[in-house]
Amino acid sequence: MSLDSFVIRGKKRASGGEVCSSETRGSGKKRKVEDVKSSDDKSQLPWKKLRAENLDLDYVRLYSKKEADDLLKELENALEYNTGHLARVQMFGKWIDIPRKQVAHGEAGLSYTFSGNTIPARPWNPALTRIRDYISSVTGFDFNFVLVNRYKDGCDYMGEHKDDEKDLVQGYPIASLSLGQPRDFYFKHQDSRGKNAARKIDIVKLELEHGGLLLMNPPTNQFWYHALPQRKKLGNVRINMTFRKMNPSVCKPVKQGISPK
Ligand SMILES: O=C(O)CCC(=O)C(=O)O
């Protein structure tokens, strides 16, 4: 994986962090590079890290193109997405359809409550179980829940938000795996949002690649919003899976969702 594709270069180059790569071409500057292994060095993968104030991200191209192609195909066949009420969120008091498709899988009884809705976990399926276990083996963290988002093309998106809900185990990383259409992704510090922002902190921009794994480590989600903006010219499907550790004693009780295909 070239770090050039992790951190967007040129005008859109990441900033605000002690980023990046001795390989960064075109920026005119040689930047600091640090290859990271997970804390107990479980993985020999070439992790790249990106740091800014209270932002802590690790990224690696986890799957080869062929592996990622195969997984995308398998998931396109295996996953069914929520419809009706479960495909809606509440924004400023109004219910709206989410601009993408979504489903959750995980241990029985878990759910995820955000934007006014509670999404129940359907049972793990073979593909998600394999991916979860591989991510656990390379990160050293175990996960009991995955939220899957499917973007049919560049018109689908996810707005700015923080993953800081109470039903997540606090102080635990979120592992985000992307398959399909590479998409821009950005982080914005909470103090630098809006016209009357208290401070000016540079946005951190990345490109999430086919087969790329982004670890959002604490305390990132306490301080930084993230979003996947629209890119209307992009035509291909993308699936993102955020593997999470939910706290069963905080999750709202729900019936487990419908079984997977
Ligand atoms: O599709 C993505 O990469 C964004 C996912 C995300 O922000 C989330 O699940 O909280």
Helical segments of the chain, H only: 3-6, 65-78, 126-139, 220-223
Cβ of 240 below 6 Å from ligand 1: yes
Dihedral sign, Cα of residue 113, residue 255, residue 239, residue 233: negative
Q: How far is the CA of 233 from the centre of ligand 1 (A)?
A: 20
Cβ of 179 below 6 Å from ligand 1: no
Q: How far is the CA of 115 from the centre of ligand 1 (A)?
A: 14
What is the predicted pLDDT for the residue at 9? 36
Choice from 59, 102, 221, 240 to test ligand 1 binding pocket (greatest atom count within 8 A of CB): 240
Supply the residue whose CA is at minimum distance from atom 8 of ligand 1.
242
149 is in an annotated binding site: yes
In this prediction, the residues of the chain whose per-residue pLDDT falls under 50 are: 1-5, 9-42, 259-261
Dihedral sign, Cα of residue 116, residue 241, residue 165, residue 109: positive
Supply the residue whose CA is at minimum distance from atom 4 of ligand 1.
228
Cβ of 207 below 6 Å from ligand 1: no
- Give the C-alpha separation, 234 to 214, whole Å: 21
What is the predicted pLDDT for the residue at 36? 38
4 is in an annotated binding site: no
All residues at 6 or more sequence positions from 133 whose CB lies less than 8 Å from its CB, including other chains: none
Q: How far is the CA of 66 from the centre of ligand 1 (A)?
A: 23
Atom from ligand 1 closest to the CA of residue 149? 1
What is the predicted pLDDT for the residue at 207? 98
Q: How far is the CA of 171 from the centre of ligand 1 (A)?
A: 18
Max CA pair span of the chain: 56
Q: How far is the CA of 29 from the centre of ligand 1 (A)?
A: 31
pLDDT in tens, 203-217: 999 999 999 999 999
pLDDT in tens, 75-106: 999 999 999 999 999 988 899 999 999 999 99
